[in-house]
């Protein structure tokens, strides 16, 4: 699908669901989320050797921190990313890491639909090396269930874009959930 047509489709999707994120409750969005579906503007999501499996989100003021768990060619890697909410509810900007002097850009994530309890649909935009990339992503809170109520909304939104399901039961997602939800030990007194 050509990028111009995808932009029109994604623009239509965003207009349709814009009202859903007007009152996004940031405190309810925190916690564990496993990536299940991806609908990219380009085929890059399938070509990468480092695939996102899950996020654990925390909130501090207006900053949203995500601990991301990746499967990187069979090994688990984690990365902390910190974003700030923009003037639009549910939209966050994450500065892209500069891994070499030539690469610059930023990521923007917009929560376009969520029920907070089971699933969420996000639009991730990345400006990198002079190009814009857009991806619609479907996340669930569960390690087992891929087809929550929001999945069918995600299918409708992405019917014309193409849909890639990445719902493998990754050990990286399971490890992130176990570590992130484990009780923390209190520091011994002074």
According to CATH, the topology of domain 3-181 is Lipocalin (2.40.128)
| pLDDT on residue 103 | 43
Mean pLDDT of all residues in the chain?
A: 75
User: What's this model's pTM, rounded to 2 decimal places?
Assistant: 0.76
Residue 116 three-state SS: coil
What one-character DSSP code corresponds to residue 18? Answer: G
pLDDT band for 185, please (50, 70, 90 cuts).
Answer: low
Poorest-pLDDT segment among 15-24, 58-67, 82-91: 15-24
pLDDT over 60 (residue 35): yes
Least confidently predicted of 32-46, 58-72, 112-126: 32-46
Residue 104 pLDDT > 70: no
Least confident of 88-92, 100-104, 142-146, 161-165: 100-104
**Would you state the pLDDT for residue 157?**
82
pLDDT, position 11: 43
Over pLDDT 90: what percentage of the chain?
A: 21
**39 vs 121: CA distance, rounded Å:** 11
H-run or E-run covering 179: helix 171-181
């Amino acid at each position: 699908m050509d990028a111009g047509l995808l932009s029109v489709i994604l623009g239509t999707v965003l207009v349709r669901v814009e009202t859903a994120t007007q009152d996004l409750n940031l405190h309810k969005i925190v916690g564990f989320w496993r990536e299940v579906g991806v609908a990219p503007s380009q085929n890059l999501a399938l070509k990468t050797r480092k695939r996102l499996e899950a996020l654990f989100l925390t909130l501090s003021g207006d900053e949203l921190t995500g601990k991301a768990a990746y499967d990187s060619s069979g090994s688990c890697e984690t990365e902390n990313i910190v974003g700030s909410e923009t003037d639009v509810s549910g939209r966050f900007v994450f500065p892209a890491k500069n891994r070499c002097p030539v690469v610059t850009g930023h990521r923007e994530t917009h929560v376009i639909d969520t029920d907070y309890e089971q699933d969420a649909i996000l639009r991730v935009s990345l400006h990198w090396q002079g190009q814009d990339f857009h991806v619609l992503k479907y996340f669930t809170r569960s390690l087992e269930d891929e087809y929550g109520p929001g999945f069918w909304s995600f299918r409708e939104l992405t019917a014309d874009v193409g849909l890639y399901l990445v719902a493998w039961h990754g050990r990286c997602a399971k490890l992130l959930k176990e570590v992130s939800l484990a009780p923390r030990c209190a520091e011994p007194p002074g």
